[in-house]
Copies of this chain bind each other. A is one copy, B any other.
Amino acid sequence: MAKTKTIITFLLRLLAFGATLTATVVMVTSHDSAEVLNLKFSAKYSNSPAFNFPNIYLLVDKFWHRFYVIAEAIASGYGLIALFLCSKSSVERLMVILDVVIAMLLTSSISAALAEAEIGKKGNSHAGWLPICGQVPKFCDHVTGALIAGFVAAIVYLVLNLYSLIVVLAPFCPVKP
């Protein structure tokens, strides 16, 4: 029983680590450029204001996209450490708490990034914001990939939390199966 738990937890952690690492790497390496009306548009995940004009850094110079990369990187780092520690029962209790914190961090970052990405993809005609994906499709594909990986990571952490909590709380359960 304890062995099954260890294996399930390990597999979930491995999946979460893979997903967060993918999200970080794919988001950091995302860039694309396009020429429209002889103006060169560039899209990159981070902003560098000193770059040659005219450049349009789209969406991605925002605080939120940097927050996404930082959050996914923190989750990757934690995930890697957790992979090696998860069989040690002395830190298991601390990890239940850390898992909840990391899950909230991931949920927060993916929601913010999705909200921005939706505007980037569809625009908002009511507010006069134009969609930008037609101009920089390669960049958008990269960001979409990173967001899918981040979404998978958030779901895996939710499952991991529910599983650990149920296992941890089971001995307290007033009704024994």
Residue positions of A touching B, CB distance < 8 A? 47, 56-59, 61-64, 89-90, 93, 96-97, 100-101, 103-104, 107-116, 118-120, 124, 126-130, 132, 158, 161-162, 165-166, 168-169, 172-174
Q: A59-B126, A93-B173, A127-B132 are in contact. List 9 more A-B contacts (CB 8 A).
A: A56-B127, A64-B118, A96-B169, A97-B162, A100-B162, A104-B158, A107-B108, A111-B115, A129-B130
- Partner pick for A59 among B103, B127, B162, B168, CB 8 A cutoff: B127
Bound CA–CA A110/B116 (angstroms): 13
Which residues of chain B have C-beta atoms less than 8 A from A161's C-beta? Answer: 100
Instruction: Enumerate 28 A-B pairs (CB-CB under 8 Å) in ascending A order.
Output: A58-B126, A59-B126, A61-B124, A62-B118, A62-B124, A64-B115, A90-B174, A93-B169, A96-B165, A97-B165, A97-B169, A103-B104, A104-B104, A104-B107, A104-B158, A107-B108, A111-B112, A112-B115, A115-B116, A116-B116, A119-B119, A119-B129, A120-B127, A127-B129, A128-B129, A128-B130, A129-B130, A168-B169
